[in-house]
Structure 1
Amino acid sequence: MKKWLKASPFDNGTEFNYHHAIEYYLNTTVYFAEPYKSWQRGTNENTNGLIRQFIPKSAAISLVDDKQIKKIQYLLNTRPRKRHKFKSPADFYSKELRRIALHGVI
């Protein structure tokens, strides 16, 4: 199996109790962020900040319906990012899908 993911930094939540299985099946290494060191989870913290523009931290996420979640998802996925020369995640995803379709790369 090709090692396509070199490392995975995870939060320390119980949802990662089976991280050994993830390492095995994805042929990768799992790292856990240290408590109170949010810079070790940069993308996660940035994404949380973007989501908080729509859902305040004080709001119960369980009260947000699927329609609202899909709208937030769409807005974030089509939002241009300065660090990517103002291309959106959707732009990158579409380009990768085209590359796979044309070359049959998996």
Structure 2
Amino acid sequence: MHNYFVYILECSDKSYYTGVTNDLEVRLLQHENGDDPLSYKYFRRPLTLRYWQRFDYIEHAIEFEKQVKGWSRKKKEALFNEDWNEIKRLSNLKKK
């Protein structure tokens, strides 16, 4: 069994960053330490982990990451609260 994670970070400017990794703890340390000065998050530290989900298959994690990256701020915040009714409601609004 493998571990892959989709995660959402809240940056100091209140923006959200969504990523995927096979080692959540190490990846969070890399983000917080600013290992890549060219990254979106470098000047937006400190970062707060708002959400994560584990997957067995990298394909599923990447698919979910791409899906979430397209979501509105409100929809991501509903995900933080695991408010599936609100996620569905917001999805239906977009379709109209």
Shared fold (TM-score, shorter chain, > 0.5)? no
Which structure's relative contact order is higher, taking Cα pairs within 8 Å and 6+ residues apart? 2
Which has more helix, going by share of residues?
Answer: 1
Length-normalised TM-score, structure 2: 0.28
Rg larger for: 1
Specify which structure has the higher proportion of strand: 2
